[in-house]
C-alpha cells in the first residue's frame, strides 16, 4: 500500500504479501491436521481386529464381538511419540497465533523470523515423532496379521508437510517481492 505525503513523495507501509497469506493458511491447515492426528483412533489398523492410536490400543478376537482396550501410555516410546507430536502441535499453535497477530498490526516483518523458526522446530519434532513411531511399533508389537499405518498417521505427516511449507514461505524475504504487490 502506498499513501502520498506532501505531493509526490510516497511512504511505503508493509503490505501483507500473498506469500505470507498462503503461509498463514498453511500454518492453519497444519494445526487442523495435528488436532485430527492427535484425536485419531486409527494410527495402525489390522483386519478389523486391531486399532492403535496415540492413546489406546484395542483388539478383539475373531470369535468375540467385544473390543478390549489398554492405554498406550505405558511404554516409553509411545509417550515419547505423543510428547513430540504435542510439542510440535504447540509450536504450530504458537506460530499461528503470532502470525495472526502480525496480520493485525502494521509492523509485520519483525514477526516473520520467529514464526519461521517455530515452524522449523515443529517440523523437526514431528518428523522425529513420525520416524520413531513405525520403527518402535514394528520392533515391539508383533502382529501376525496384515497391518497398515492408517489415516491418523497420515494426518500427522500432512501437518508436518504444511508446517514445512509455511516455514519456507515465512523465510522468503518480503523486500524482494513487495514491489510486485
Q: What is the DSSP string of 127-145?
A: HHHHHHHHHHHHHH---SS
| Cα distance between residue 140 and residue 127, in whole Å | 20
pLDDT of residue 13: 46
Name the H helices within 17-64: 18-39
CATH code of the domain containing 65: 1.20.140.150
5 part of a folded domain: no
| Cα distance between residue 34 and residue 89, in whole Å | 6
7 part of a folded domain: no
The residues, ordered by sequence, that sit 6+ positions from 20 with a Cβ below 8 Å of its Cβ are 99, 108, 112, 169, 170, 174
Q: Give the H or E element holding residue 146.
A: none
What total of structural domains would you count in the chain?
1
Q: Domain span at residue 82?
A: 18-174
Give the pTM.
0.81
pLDDT of residue 145: 67
Residue 125 — φ and ψ, nearest 5°? -60, -45
| pLDDT tens digits in sequence order for the chain, 181 residues long | 444 444 444 444 455 677 788 888 999 999 999 999 999 988 888 877 788 888 888 888 777 778 888 888 888 989 999 999 999 999 999 999 998 888 887 666 778 889 999 999 999 999 999 999 988 888 887 666 677 888 999 999 999 999 999 999 988 865 655 454 4
Amino acid at each position: 500500500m502506498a499513501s502520498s505525503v506532501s505531493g509526490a513523495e510516497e511512504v511505503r507501509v508493509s503490505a501483507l504479501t500473498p506469500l505470507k497469506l498462503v503461509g498463514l493458511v498453511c500454518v492453519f491447515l497444519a494445526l487442523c491436521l495435528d488436532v485430527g492426528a492427535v484425536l485419531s483412533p486409527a494410527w495402525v489398523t489390522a483386519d478389523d481386529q486391531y486399532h492403535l492410536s496415540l492413546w489406546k490400543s484395542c483388539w478383539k478376537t475373531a470369535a468375540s464381538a467385544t473390543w478390549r482396550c489398554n492405554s498406550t501410555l505405558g511404554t516409553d516410546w509411545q509417550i515419547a511419540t505423543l510428547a513430540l507430536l504435542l510439542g510440535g502441535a504447540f509450536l504450530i499453535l504458537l506460530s499461528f497465533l503470532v502470525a495472526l497477530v502480525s496480520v493485525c498490526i502494521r509492523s509485520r516483518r519483525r514477526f516473520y523470523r520467529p514464526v519461521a523458526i517455530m515452524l522449523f522446530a515443529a517440523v523437526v519434532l514431528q518428523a522425529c515423532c513420525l520416524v520413531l513411531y513405525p520403527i518402535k511399533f514394528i520392533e515391539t508389537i508383533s502382529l501376525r496379521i496384515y497391518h497398515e499405518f492408517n489415516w491418523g498417521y497420515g494426518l500427522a505427516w500432512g501437518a508436518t508437510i504444511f508446517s514445512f511449507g509455511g516455514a519456507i514461505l515465512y523465510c522468503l524475504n518480503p523486500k524482494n517481492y513487495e514491489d510486485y504487490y
